[in-house]
Structure 1
Amino acid sequence: MFAPSPIPETEPPHDCPRCPRLVAFREQLRAEHPDWWNAPVNAFGDPGAWLAIVGLAPGKHGANRTGRPFTGDYAGDLLFATLAKYGLATGRYEGRPDDSLRLNGAIIVNSVKCLPPQNKPTPEEIRTCRPFLEGQAAVLPGARIFIALGQIAHQSAVKILGGRLPKCRFGHLAEHRMPGGRVLIDSYHCSRYNQNTGRLTAEMFESVFARATLLRDMGIAG
């Protein structure tokens, strides 16, 4: 019921014990929904990707249920449609980890691997999980462009890419040059709330991927 990781050596164990609050929430949901994934969610996509998309954390009824990032929730509808539009996804997205969807040239990684209550990880939980994100960036040498979905993902991405937060302020379509030549582009998160309130439109979201594609074509990424 889940998608195997393309970079398995970087993933936390199925019963990762690092964050007590998240462990307790995981155990509660395993009792309530024993057929759900209810575990740290693996990266998903192409290990040779030129583009890495950094999300926040699994959604309760999305990735925490299905075991694949952004799969089975509202945010995934826009994300995967946009990836398909820019040639980064093939197959058909059906909200299941066993559908025919595949990513080409892109990979999705999360700042926090486990579901946090109310979708709000604590600063300590974000710090505790950051080594997994850092390890994943390290084994993706082809990923020269990163897209951060939301401010927490932005902060984690800046830190693991060697940037400095005071010099890298979050903003939709903000662009940051990182040490080693990598580039970070910010986007508002494609959450249901942001879409329903008009904070993020499909056109705004697509503009981020259009910019990433342009940078690739300019030789920023292979």
Structure 2
Amino acid sequence: MDHAPSALPATEPPHDCPLCPRLAAFRDALRSEYPGWWNAPVPAFGDPDAWLVIVGLAPGKHGANRTGRPFTGDYAGELLYATLAKYGLSEGTFEARPDDGLQLRGAMLVNAVRCLPPENKPTPDEIRTCRPFLEAPIAALPKAKVFVALGQIAHQSTVKALGGRLPKAKFGHLAEHRMPDGRLLIDSYHCSRYNQNTGRLTAPMFEAVFERALACRDG
């Protein structure tokens, strides 16, 4: 399957990353079941000159794990990419496939865990093991000044990747956290199907996060 190339190839885990045995075994099983899918660590996607970094949890089974591009091919991506387009953070038309020609402008997408975890639940060890693959793209984005964490696991990993302290940075929708180097982290509920269907996250709530991010960039 065609997939979008990584914006930061030097920061990516290998295609057959062995570091998390449970995730590697799950990936191998899916390669047998769905040989046409991406079924590998999903690379970061976006603008190498990004000022905004959006951190997700992990690839979705029928989304990024299938297509090879973050938030592409599943329900969560519909709201995310629509919101990016609304605020001028993308160019082109999102068609939920990695060869649709969509490009991000000023933004980068990366997951805290690069491989699909069973039941979408990575273990604490897997989250910790994958953190270097969050730290590396962050380090490669010198213009990044605002971060948006989608959900609590992404929040925790991003705080640690930016050198912050979790006791002082509690997750909450639209909560803001100033990191030791001055960069800003804004939290959002994850744009998952469950959160949207239950009303925990609405489109206006999600858009408010990006309005705040833009205000902080320009402020």
TM-based fold match above 0.5 = yes
TM-score tier (shorter) = over 0.9
Q: Percent identity?
A: 76
> How many residue pairs align between the two structures?
218
1:93-172 alignment to 2 at 5 Å? 93-172=94-173
Write the deviation string for residues 167-203 of structure 1: whole angstroms up to 9, x where unpaired. 0000000000001110000000000000000000000
CA distance in 1 between partners of 2:186 and 2:101 (Å):
28
| Other-structure match for 2:91 | 90
SS at match of 2:191: coil
SS at match of 2:131: helix
**Normalised TM-score (structure 1):** 0.98
Q: What is the CA-CA distance between 1:100 and the residue it aligns to?
A: 2.2
CA distance in 2 between partners of 1:82 and 1:33 (Å):
31
Q: 1:93 is aligned with what amino acid? A: F
Q: 1:213 is aligned with what amino acid? A: L
SS at match of 2:54: strand
Q: 2:214 is aligned with what amino acid? A: T
| Other-structure match for 1:73 | 74
| Other-structure match for 2:183 | 182
SS at match of 1:179: coil
Q: 1:102 is aligned with what amino acid? A: Q
CA distance in 1 between partners of 2:145 and 2:180 (Å):
11
CA distance in 2 between partners of 1:6 and 1:36 (Å):
20
CA distance in 2 between partners of 1:139 and 1:45 (Å):
12
CA distance in 2 between partners of 1:132 and 1:188 (Å):
22
Q: 2:75 is aligned with what amino acid? A: Y
Q: 1:148 is aligned with what amino acid? A: A
CA distance in 2 between partners of 1:144 and 1:26 (Å):
34
CA distance in 1 between partners of 2:20 and 2:73 (Å):
25
| Other-structure match for 1:55 | 56
| Other-structure match for 1:200 | 201
Write the deviation string for residues 101-127 of structure 1: whole angstroms up to 9, x where unpaired. 110000001100000000000000000
CA distance in 2 between partners of 1:134 and 1:216 (Å):
21
CA distance in 1 between partners of 2:194 and 2:181 (Å):
35
Q: What is the CA-CA distance between 1:22 and the residue it aligns to?
A: 0.2
| Other-structure match for 1:213 | 214
SS at match of 2:72: coil
CA distance in 2 between partners of 1:73 and 1:101 (Å):
16
Q: 1:157 is aligned with what amino acid? A: T
Which portions of structure 1, spanning 4 or more consecutive aligned residues, are displaced by more than 2 angstroms? none
* 1:11 lines up with 2:30 in the alignment: no
Write the deviation string for residues 8-51 of structure 1: whole angstroms up to 9, x where unpaired. 00000000000000001000000000000000000000010000
**Normalised TM-score (structure 2):** 0.99
Q: 2:173 is aligned with what amino acid? A: H
Q: What is the CA-CA distance between 1:90 and the residue it aligns to?
A: 1.2
